[in-house]
């Protein structure tokens, strides 16, 4: 099959934009030789083709679009946190604060999605739920990537993706790689805090367990409240991400209770009970437990 070259957006300088505005008298450009540049960049036409509801119920469109928007936010947050990892591995704590800040704001956008589904009662959901079959948000590969990156590791949760070799391989690599929290613990060790070697050389496919040495390191970090303490700033930025992600999980639980109560989930779980158990696993746990000793 012949490969087609995607339409390119032609760069423009500030001078060119000023000249164009002068030529048009300040009105927007209305004539283009090819595809509208905005669509060439955003691929909006392609995005809007992705909504393919399974029913004639108008409410399903809200459910479908918000699910797709959340997938994009999962990927965007993961992108930011992987950048944070790269910067922390170079000991660039100051540089890591901006993508961490962006990640926290992306999670706020993600959380807003649940608010737009508050109209959904059990009767509303039931009008199209059966058509979803075994489809469930539990099966989101990108959400698993985000969980693994945040340190919530469960090896069994990649099994559903075995029929998709590339997706399964990517998730396996994410499972076995250090999480962001593992990189933070290694950073603390490089900055002189007494972190046992067993925490630095451990099997990263296993979920990190709260360790008193990591707690003690954060207690020591927070003793210095000066403006040059970048580790303390990092701790607060990480806390913000953990808190926003916790809000998403709580909002998910609330949305499920609102739309289906304690019915079994579409993906085979017991629904509400499964979500309640998963919320007991904390992101960046010593940042929370250390506060008892500060």
The structure's pTM equals 0.91
Tens-place pLDDT, residues 109-166 = 999 999 999 999 999 999 999 999 888 888 999 999 999 999 999 999 999 999 999 9
Indicate whether 29 belongs to any domain: no
The tokens for 206 are 């296993």
Number of domains in the chain: 1
Decide which of 12 and 187 is more confident: 187
Indicate whether 13 belongs to any domain: no
Work out the pLDDT band at 1, boundaries 50, 70, 90.
Answer: very low
What average pLDDT does the segment 252-259 reach?
A: 88
- Provide the 8-state DSSP code for 160: G
Q: Are 221 and 229 in contact (CB under 8 A)?
A: yes
Indicate whether 86 belongs to any domain: yes
In order, the DSSP letters of 122-137 are HHHHHHHHGGGTT--G
What average pLDDT does the segment 198-221 reach?
A: 96
**Averaged pLDDT of the chain:** 92
- Is residue 263 classed as helix, strand or coil in its secondary structure? coil
* Per-residue confidence (pLDDT) for residue 270, from 0 to 100: 64
What average pLDDT does the segment 221-235 reach?
A: 96
* Per-residue confidence (pLDDT) for residue 32, from 0 to 100: 84
Share of the chain above pLDDT 70, in %: 95
* Per-residue confidence (pLDDT) for residue 117, from 0 to 100: 94
**Nearest partner of 217 among 187, 245, 255, 250, judged by Cα:** 187
Indicate whether 10 belongs to any domain: no
Tens-place pLDDT, residues 72-116 = 999 999 999 999 999 999 999 999 999 999 999 999 999 999 999
For residue 58, pLDDT over 60 is answered with: yes
Work out the pLDDT band at 259, boundaries 50, 70, 90.
Answer: confident
- Is residue 192 classed as helix, strand or coil in its secondary structure? coil
For residue 29, pLDDT over 80 is answered with: yes
Domain that holds residue 168: 59-128+137-293
* Per-residue confidence (pLDDT) for residue 271, from 0 to 100: 66
Indicate whether 245 belongs to any domain: yes
Indicate whether 278 belongs to any domain: yes
CATH number at residue 259: 1.20.58.480
**Nearest partner of 80 among 68, 94, 96, judged by Cα:** 96
Work out the pLDDT band at 276, boundaries 50, 70, 90.
Answer: confident
The number of beta carbons lying within 10 Å of the beta carbon of residue 98 is: 14
Which phi and psi (to 5°) does residue 155 adopt? -60, -35
Indicate whether 23 belongs to any domain: no
* Per-residue confidence (pLDDT) for residue 2, from 0 to 100: 43
């Amino acid at each position: 099959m012949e490969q087609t070259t995607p339409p390119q957006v032609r760069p423009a300088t500030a001078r060119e934009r000023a000249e164009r505005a002068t030529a048009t008298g300040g009105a927007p450009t209305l004539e283009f030789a090819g595809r509208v540049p905005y669509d060439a960049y955003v691929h909006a036409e392609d995005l809007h083709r992705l909504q393919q509801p399974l029913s004639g119920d108008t409410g399903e469109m809200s459910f479908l679009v918000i699910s797709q928007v959340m997938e994009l936010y999962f990927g965007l947050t993961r992108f930011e946190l992987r950048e944070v990892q790269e910067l922390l591995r170079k000991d660039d704590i100051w540089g890591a604060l901006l993508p961490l800040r962006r990640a926290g704001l992306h999670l706020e956008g993600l959380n807003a999605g649940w608010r737009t589904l508050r109209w959904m009662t059990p009767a509303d959901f039931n009008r199209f739920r059966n058509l979803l079959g075994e489809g469930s948000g539990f099966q989101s590969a990108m959400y698993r990537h985000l969980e693994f990156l945040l340190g919530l590791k469960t090896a069994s949760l990649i099994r559903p993706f075995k029929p998709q070799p590339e997706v399964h391989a990517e998730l396996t690599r994410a499972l076995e790689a250090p999480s962001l929290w593992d990189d933070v613990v290694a950073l603390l060790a490089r900055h002189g805090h007494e972190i046992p070697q067993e925490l630095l050389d451990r099997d990263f496919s296993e979920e990190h367990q709260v360790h008193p040495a990591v707690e003690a390191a954060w207690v020591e970090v927070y003793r210095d409240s000066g403006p040059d303490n970048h580790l303390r700033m990092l701790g607060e930025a990480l806390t913000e991400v953990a808190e926003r992600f916790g809000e998403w999980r709580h909002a998910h639980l609330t949305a499920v209770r609102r739309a289906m109560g304690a019915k079994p989930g579409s993906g085979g779980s017991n629904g509400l009970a499964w979500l309640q158990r998963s919320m007991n696993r904390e992101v960046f746990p010593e940042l929370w437990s250390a506060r008892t000793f500060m």
